[in-house]
Amino acid sequence: MRLHKNTTADKVRSWPPAVQVGHVASELSRAASLIETGGPGEALGALLRARELLGVMETCPALPVGWGPDLADAVHRLALDKLGNPNPAEWRSLQARLMGLLERTPAA
């Protein structure tokens, strides 16, 4: 993986879906915090890492039923032409939506 140098796509795919979405949400939270504290360059890096993880998630055959619309929205909102959005509320709301997947999904 280009932006996650210490892991591989296969390793990410081996994580349970809840762990995968948690990592994406963590990057979104990091981006929002960096925007709020004046670190736009680092915020862009966090958003790109979130995109990279989502790209791997899209290749996982075992994602829970019902996650598709939320993940598709996340991919759309993290499109390259939207990454310059300086509003941390945008990324916090996406983080909350992804974390909501965990609340709606029964534990395995």
The helix/strand/coil state of 99 is: helix
Q: Using 50, 70 and 90 to split pLDDT, how confident is the model at 19? A: very high
59 vs 2, higher pLDDT: 59
- The pLDDT, as a whole number, for residue 2 is 75
The answer to whether residues 51 and 79 touch, using CB atoms and an 8 Å cutoff, is: no
pLDDT at 77 exceeding the cut of 90? no
Give the whole-angstrom CA distance, residue 63 versus residue 20.
Answer: 10
Mean pLDDT confidence for 7-22: 91
pTM for the whole structure: 0.85
List all residues 6 or more positions away from 48 whose beta carbon is below 8 Å from its beta carbon. 3, 83
Residue 22 pLDDT > 90: yes
Query: Can you tell me the mean pLDDT for 21-48?
Result: 89
Average pLDDT for residues 33-47, to the nearest whole number? 86
CA dist., res. 17 & res. 75, Å (int): 16
40 pLDDT more than 80: no
Query: Does the pLDDT at position 108 exceed 60?
Result: no
Residues across the chain: 108
What is the chain's Cα-based Rg? 13
What does the block give as tokens for 83? 């990454």
